Homo-oligomer: A and B are copies of this chain.
Amino acid sequence: MVAMPRWDPNAEDRLREAALELFLEHGYENVTVAEITERAGLTRRSFSRYFADKRDVLFAESERLPAALAHSVRGADETLTPFEALLTALLDVTRGLADEPSLAAQRRAIVHASPELQERGRTKLAAATDAVAEALRDRGTAEFEATLLAEVGVAIFRTAFERWTDQPDQVGLPARIREAATDLATSLGTVDFATLPHP
């Protein structure tokens, strides 16, 4: 057995990489925490320092998303419109995301293969939506408009994230966010509300 340093600044990353490898090799359900720590050359105690359980390895990053987005929305320049504040927050927060696109793509594939993990992912994004809506309301955005914009902001995030992990070599996640928002503005700009069915 190789001697490991007692404190390893890369322990969290190594555990995450080992877990993703094992999940992809054997299927998420069939991997134990013991196998993850063994592959990473670390102890159960190191694992517990960073993650609650093996599911948490996949979602620790998105755990931070609601608070980070809400903080950034609240801190955005007060001259910005609500949607500008929201997009600024999405751009700021995704610039700071630690994930490599290839790791993010692996994680996405693992989550996609399990209905339970997909539900978990949706719950996380719903928490982000709620946090953003509350932050927008704190800026003075009306109740339902805040909900709508927060939902749409998270839809932009989710789609941009998919595209980024699908085509990781082209541009970064913030550029994908900007692209999705621009596409959406263009699509909505084409709508002729007068020709739609009237309620």
* Interface status of A17 (Cβ within 8 A of chain B): no
Interface residues on A, range: 35 or more
Is residue A34 contacting chain B, with contact meaning CB distance below 8 A?
no
Q: Which of A145-178 contact B (CB under 8 A)?
A: 145, 147-149, 151-152, 154-156, 158-159, 162-163, 171-172, 174-175, 177-178
Separation of A191 and B81 alpha carbons in the complex (Å): 7
Q: Which residue of B91, B152, B191 is within 8 Å of A155 (Cβ)?
A: B152
Taking a contact as CB atoms under 8 Å apart, the answer to whether B147 and A159 are in contact is: yes
A35 in contact (CB, < 8 A): no
Chain A interface, DSSP helix/strand/loop, else mixed = helix
Q: Does A99 contact B (CB under 8 A)?
A: no
Q: A178-B199, A182-B193 are in contact. Are A148 and B156 (CB under 8 A)?
A: yes
Q: How far is the CA of A119 from the CA of B151 in the complex (A)?
A: 16
Q: Across the interface, which residues of B come within 8 angstroms of A118, CB to CB?
A: 123, 126
Q: Which residue on B lies nearest to A159, using beta carbons?
A: B148
In the complex, A10 has a CB within 8 A of chain B: no
The segment from A41-49, A55-63, A82-90 that touches chain B is A82-90
A184 sits at the interface (CB 8 A)? yes
A188 at the interface (CB under 8 A from B): yes
- Chain B residues with Cβ below 8 Å from A187 are 81-83, 145, 148-149
